[in-house]
């Protein structure tokens, strides 16, 4: 009898990847990074186990948005109180937060998705403090 392979959390090895977002389209970057964070690129992918890798993104300030998103796109939040809505245009947001929100929307909306999201490190400039982990350069 054949059984389906189920990855165990203690046996999964997490790698480190580095993306340079200079001139890369935001959506294409977000799809690739979300796939790495979930672990869907690995043959041992199991949907209820965190099989994903760590991802470091630098030069988030140089990421591109296509069309007229730079003027028109905005993010909505609500505090829960009457009149507590906040609409923030993408042009007023920090570049790291824009990249984080794009990737977060592509991850699962549960405890496992929040755990995966913590493995994402985004920096506006070209330097990052994760050199000791020796992240592999990744391309789109």
Q: Return the structure tokens found at 1.
A: 């009898």
Per residue in 8-62, pLDDT (tens digit) is: 999 999 999 999 999 999 999 999 999 999 999 999 999 999 999 999 999 999 9
Give yes or no for a contact between 10 and 129, defined as CB atoms under 8 angstroms apart.
no
pTM: 0.93
Q: What are the beta bridge partners of residue 88?
A: 75
Q: Which residues contact 121 (CB under 8 A, 6 or more apart)?
A: 54, 55, 56, 57, 128, 130
d(CA 34, CA 106): 6
Report residue 115's pLDDT band, with 50, 70 and 90 as the boundaries.
very high
Q: Which pLDDT score, from 0 to 100, does residue 82 have?
A: 98
Q: Which pLDDT score, from 0 to 100, does residue 64 have?
A: 96
Check whether 1 has a pLDDT greater than 80.
no
Per residue in 63-111, pLDDT (tens digit) is: 999 999 999 999 999 999 999 999 999 999 999 999 999 999 999 999 9
Give whole-number Cα distances, 10 to 7, 13, 46, 49, 134, in Å.
9, 8, 13, 10, 22
């Amino acid at each position: 009898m054949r059984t389906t392979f189920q990855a165990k959390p203690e046996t999964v090895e997490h790698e480190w990847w580095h993306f340079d977002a200079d001139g890369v389209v935001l959506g294409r970057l977000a799809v690739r990074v979300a796939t790495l964070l979930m672990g869907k690129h690995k043959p041992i992918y199991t949907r209820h186990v965190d099989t994903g890798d760590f991802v470091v993104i630098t030069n988030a300030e140089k990421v591109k948005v296509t069309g007229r998103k730079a003027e028109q796109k905005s993010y909505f939040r609500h505090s829960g109180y009457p009149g507590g809505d906040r609409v923030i245009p993408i042009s007023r947001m920090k570049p790291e937060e824009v990249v984080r929100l794009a990737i977060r929307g592509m991850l699962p909306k549960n405890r496992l998705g929040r755990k995966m999201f913590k493995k994402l490190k985004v920096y506006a400039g070209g330097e990052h403090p994760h050199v000791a982990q020796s992240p592999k350069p990744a391309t789109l």
